[in-house]
Each structure stands twice: as C-alpha cells, then as structure tokens.
Chains A and B, each alone.
Chain A
C-alpha cells in the first residue's frame, strides 16, 4: 500500500478546473442538505424543538425508496409521488399519535420523545434490514453531464434541481397559502392562534408532516448516487443541524443558503485536505458563526 501511494503524484489541487468541479459538486450536495435542513428548521420554527428523529426518518425514507426500487422496480424519481405523501402521512400520524400524546404540552418532553423514536427506528432497521449498506443501480447512476468542462453525475444534477424545486414549493406553501399563514401564526403566537380558531394541534402535526415530507423528497433524490444503512441518517442530521444553526434557527432562507455553503465547504475542504478531513471546514465555519453571529446568518435576535 505504502509504495502504491508514493507512486501517484499529488493532485493538482488548486487547478481552477478541478476547483470549479468541486464547487459544482458541493452545490449539488448542498441542495439536498438544504432540503433536509428545511424540514428540520420548519419543525424547529413551529414546534420549538429539535427533531432528533430527523435522521432516522430520512433513513426510513431511503429504505422506502430502496424497496420500491428492488421489489416493485420503481425508479427513485418515479417514487417521489409515493414517498412524499407517505412521509407526510407518517409525520402527521407520528405527531398526533405519539408525540402530542406523550409530550403533555411540554417542549422538553417532545425532545426526549424524538430522541427515543430515533433510537427505536434505527434499531428496528438494524433488526429487519440488517446492517448491510445497500445501493441501487439505475441506468443513469454513472452518467455524467459536462458543465463548462466539469463532469457532474446526472443523479447529482437531478438532486440539485429537484431539491430547489421542492424548496420553492415549500416556500410557496408557507408564504402564500392559508395553511402557511396558520403555520407561521402558530410558530410565534400559539395563544393568539387559538383565539382566531386555528386548530393548533392540527397545524403542529401538519408542520411535522411537511418536515418529514421534505425527507421523502430528499431520499428520492439521494439514493441513486448514495447508499442506505441503518446509521445513514446520523451524518445527515448532524450536518442539517449545523446548517439550521448556521442559517438561523427557523429561517428558511438561512437553511437554503446554509445548505449550499456547507455543501461547497465540505466539497472544497475534501479536495484540499482529503476526504476524511473535509468536514473540518464545516465545523470551523460553524464555530466562527457562533462566536460572531450567534443568532445565525439569517436569524432574528431573540
């Protein structure tokens, strides 16, 4: 091994073409990160809790996409109209059936419940699906497109535009619809919301459902170029949490920009420092933001 490594010349790291490709790659990953973080920040913004089950829910969604492909032969992108509603319903039911009941109206209880759920889901996956890392093969898994000389994998391009489109739909729902107004109203003023006749429990469950629906979409975009195993969600949720804090807790714009930023930093960091050290950049930025702008890039002061 050692002699092998020496046989290769060090890569031309700062070659602009490679750097460009790395930034593009980072943006495509970042779009999916942003989508995952949007779900997390929506749930935080409305319920004021960190959903610790977010990673486990993503993992479940990834298994869903995997089995739809393996058992029914459905392409991951075709699975979108199945996975998004399925995750929404799962989220809504989970909130109404478990989280709301067990929390007795205390936010700190919700925190523990979601943590417990994530442990249960992970272990259930371990029991039923074993710890093997699974991937799917599609006709386009290894295809690439040439963007100004940079070769970008087709699934990553689809993920990029898909995540952007999903984000646009989410922002439209939150910003322009009656449900969105009710969600924003409950986020800041629960008592006032009750007094205008908003069913606050329903709105909370809807928010939780929409948060998980984002994961359903993210899973469909991820799997063609990624893998699934029972622990797969943990890495994502750590990054998503970083993005949410970085962008400002509860801020959608912050989650979107933060997602891209983290994606690019991770990608370029990996290029400069090597794959295993690439994530250092994320946490350096995270700490700097916390030191100088603790409310996050787009967060409101408390």
Chain B
C-alpha cells in the first residue's frame, strides 16, 4: 500500500453540547478512492466539515500529508491541499462561473491557474460555454461541475466529494462517477461521501460505513457487498 495521506484517529466533534462524532478512525492512502457510506444523520457531513476545519474537533487527531491539522483553521487546511467539494455545491451564486473558478485558486494553485483553468474546461466543456454567466443561474448538474472544477483549481492532494450525485439525473450521475474514476487515474486521491451506495462501491478501492458518528465497517467493497447482513443493516440494500 502507498503512503498514508490522511490518518484520522479517535476523532470527536459536535455542535455545542451535542456530540456527533464519537471517536472516528479512518485512513486514506495516496492514490486511493475511499467511499464513506452511511445513512442520513450518521455524521458524514460533520466529519467532512471537521476535516475542513469548519467544525472544531473536540478530541482525537487528524494527520494529513505528514502534518497534524486537528483544529487548524479552514485556510490552513486548504493550504495543505485538503479540499472539500461540499454537499449542496456552495458555489457563489452572485459571481460568474469564471470568478468562481478563480476563487478556487484563492490560496492554492495560483501559479498553475491558467493551466488548471484549461484542464477544468477540458473536463467540463459546458463551463467554458458559460464563463460569464452567474453561477446561480446554472442548472444543478452544471453547479456540481462548477463546484468540482472550483475544487480542482486548488490543486488538491485529497479531494473530498460530499454527496456529489445528489439531485442529478441518472445520466449525469453516470458521467459523474466516470469523471471521478478519471481524476483518480490521473493520480488524485478522493474521499467519496455518498448515499449512492451501488455506484460508489463500484469505483472505490476501499469503503467505510458510518453509523451514529463512528465507523462500523471498513474493508474492501467486495466484502461489504458479499455480506447480506451488513448490507441490510447499514446500507438498506
């Protein structure tokens, strides 16, 4: 196995007195696609936001690319190359498509901005057609492309994709998963947080299942799919 890129140990976090994450362990090696599955309310987005520094960890440790980033500020985490494409896209609706992409390189990837823009255009030709359009006027699928493009502009070492297939048509979902595979083959490590279990497990190298703020399964996708009890209990399949 390649070197460990992200190492999470005993992570706890929550909002005020409400604890959401109860000691979560997870590793991602460089070059992997790791799927993080789990039902609504399992704490997946809280986990992402804790990794990104938006929710403050109350305990445990997060090591990323050799640095400890537990409780680091969101900008420091972006600087380190851990980039999240959040659930609900969170593009800047009042800014043009180009401005959204440029803001992706606000802290990281400034030197390679021109080349990275070209790369995003070649991945998403639709964005090139709509460069001057306000992001808020794009369709859901286009906004998802923009959110991923914005994330890529920061030259991520690890890209977290939080529910990228949410609200997309089946055809777009198909394209999206193909794209995730392509990005990974080009060397990008990806944490794929999804409710779309079937397609996620098809492209993931390893999978974690989360329940009530902790990991309840970790292993190969095949192991998960081969175990009817696990599938029924955690994935509703």
Q: Which residues of A contact B (CB under 8 A)?
A: 178, 181-182, 184-185, 187-189, 191-199
A193 to B150, CA, bound (A): 11
Chain B residues near A178: list those with CB within 8 A. 106
How many chain-B residues does the 8 Å CB contact rule pick out? 28
| B231 at the binding interface (Cβ < 8 Å) | no
A195 to B45, CA, bound (A): 13
The reply to whether A197 and B106 contact each other, CB–CB distance below 8 Å, is yes
| B154 at the binding interface (Cβ < 8 Å) | yes
The reply to whether B95 and A184 contact each other, CB–CB distance below 8 Å, is yes
Binary contact readout B70-88 vs A (1 if CB under 8 angstroms, 0 otherwise):
0001110111000110100
The reply to whether A196 and B154 contact each other, CB–CB distance below 8 Å, is yes
* CB contact under 8 A between A198 and B106, given known A188-B92, A188-B93: yes
Chain B residues near A196: list those with CB within 8 A. 78, 103-104, 106-107, 150, 154
The reply to whether A197 and B95 contact each other, CB–CB distance below 8 Å, is no
- Known pairs A188-B93, A195-B74; list 17 more (Cβ under 8 Å): A184-B92, A184-B99, A185-B103, A189-B93, A191-B90, A192-B89, A192-B90, A192-B91, A192-B92, A193-B92, A195-B54, A195-B84, A196-B104, A197-B75, A198-B75, A198-B103, A199-B73
Top 3 A-B pairs, shortest CB-CB distance: A197-B78, A192-B90, A197-B107
Binary contact readout B28-40 vs A (1 if CB under 8 angstroms, 0 otherwise):
0000000000000
Look across to chain B and name the residue whose beta carbon is closest to the beta carbon of A300.
B94
| B52 at the binding interface (Cβ < 8 Å) | yes
Look across to chain A and name the residue whose beta carbon is closest to the beta carbon of B53.
A194
The reply to whether B90 and A197 contact each other, CB–CB distance below 8 Å, is no
DSSP class of B's interface residues: helix, strand, loop or mixed?
loop
| B63 at the binding interface (Cβ < 8 Å) | no
Min distance, Cβ B218 to any Cβ of chain A, angstroms:
26
Min distance, Cβ B75 to any Cβ of chain A, angstroms:
4
* CB contact under 8 A between A189 and B92, given known A195-B74, A195-B78: yes
The reply to whether B54 and A194 contact each other, CB–CB distance below 8 Å, is yes
A-B CB contacts (within 8 Å), total count: 68
Chain B residues near A198: list those with CB within 8 A. 75, 103, 106-107
A189 to B143, CA, bound (A): 14
Look across to chain A and name the residue whose beta carbon is closest to the beta carbon of B100.
A185
Chain B residues near A195: list those with CB within 8 A. 52, 54, 74, 78, 83-84, 86, 90
Chain B residues near A189: list those with CB within 8 A. 90-93
Chain A residues near B52: list those with CB within 8 A. 194-195
Binary contact readout B112-132 vs A (1 if CB under 8 angstroms, 0 otherwise):
000000000000000000000
Interface residues of B in 140-187 (CB under 8 A from A): 150, 154
16 residue pairs A–B, Cβ–Cβ below 8 Å: A178-B106, A181-B99, A182-B106, A188-B95, A191-B86, A192-B89, A192-B91, A194-B52, A195-B52, A195-B54, A195-B78, A196-B150, A197-B107, A197-B154, A199-B73, A199-B75
Q: A192's contact among B86, B102, B107, by CB below 8 Å, is which?
A: B86
Binary contact readout B47-64 vs A (1 if CB under 8 angstroms, 0 otherwise):
000001110000000000
Chain A residues near B77: list those with CB within 8 A. 197
Min distance, Cβ A301 to any Cβ of chain B, angstroms:
12
Chain A residues near B86: list those with CB within 8 A. 191-192, 195
Interface residues of B in 5-56 (CB under 8 A from A): 52-54
Min distance, Cβ A251 to any Cβ of chain B, angstroms:
11
| B108 at the binding interface (Cβ < 8 Å) | yes
Look across to chain A and name the residue whose beta carbon is closest to the beta carbon of B136.
A188
Chain B residues near A181: list those with CB within 8 A. 95, 99, 102-103
A189 to B78, CA, bound (A): 17
> Which of A184, A188, A197, A198 has the most B CB atoms < 10 Å from its CB?
A197
Min distance, Cβ A300 to any Cβ of chain B, angstroms:
8
Chain A residues near B102: list those with CB within 8 A. 181
A192 to B146, CA, bound (A): 12
A182 to B99, CA, bound (A): 10
The reply to whether A185 and B95 contact each other, CB–CB distance below 8 Å, is yes
Min distance, Cβ A134 to any Cβ of chain B, angstroms:
42
Min distance, Cβ B140 to any Cβ of chain A, angstroms:
16
The reply to whether A197 and B54 contact each other, CB–CB distance below 8 Å, is no
Min distance, Cβ A181 to any Cβ of chain B, angstroms:
6
Min distance, Cβ A109 to any Cβ of chain B, angstroms:
16
Min distance, Cβ A203 to any Cβ of chain B, angstroms:
11
Chain A residues near B75: list those with CB within 8 A. 194, 197-199
Look across to chain A and name the residue whose beta carbon is closest to the beta carbon of B52.
A195
A197 to B151, CA, bound (A): 11
